[in-house]
Amino acid sequence: MAKEYVISEILNNNVILVVDNKRTEELILVGKGIGFGKKAGYSTKLSEIDIEKSFISCDEERVHEYLQLINQVDINIINLSDEIIAEAEKELGQLNLHIHIDLADHTGFTLERIKNGYGYS
């Protein structure tokens, strides 16, 4: 079943900032092509199939950090980080929401250093 959202901002073709009409909550939605051809201020209906990941937008700073991360880190690293976090939460319970940005950023930086021959220490 599709839900209706109002688009606040198009971060890129795969990431949009929206307001959930029912809960009046701002969310970051990630999904292949969900931002393509859409415009801020317009409503859109998206189903669970369209949305790969969703994050509650805590504040302007976190949205900006997430946008920078998406533009700098391979989406596969972000997805891997999310899978690691999901497994950790099965054992430990809910983790701090900032870990999504921090783990993906750290992993991307580490892989870049290894790729450039610096190793990790």
Query: Chain-centre distance of CA 85, in angstroms?
Result: 13
The percent of residues above 70 in pLDDT, for the chain, comes to 92
Structure confidence by residue, pLDDT tens digits, 9-19: 888 888 888 98
This prediction's pTM: 0.59
- Nearest Cα to 7, choosing from 49, 35, 32, 31? 35
Angle between helices 75-92 and 60-72 (to 10 degrees): 130
Assigned fold of 1-57: Transcription Regulation, Sacy; Chain A (2.30.24)
Structure confidence by residue, pLDDT tens digits, 2-58: 888 999 988 888 888 898 877 777 888 888 889 999 999 999 999 989 988 787 766
Report the alpha-carbon distance of residue 23 to residue 113 in Å, rounded: 42
Beta strands 15-20 and 3-12, pairing class: antiparallel
Structure confidence by residue, pLDDT tens digits, 70-118: 777 887 888 888 889 889 989 998 787 678 778 888 898 888 888 888 8
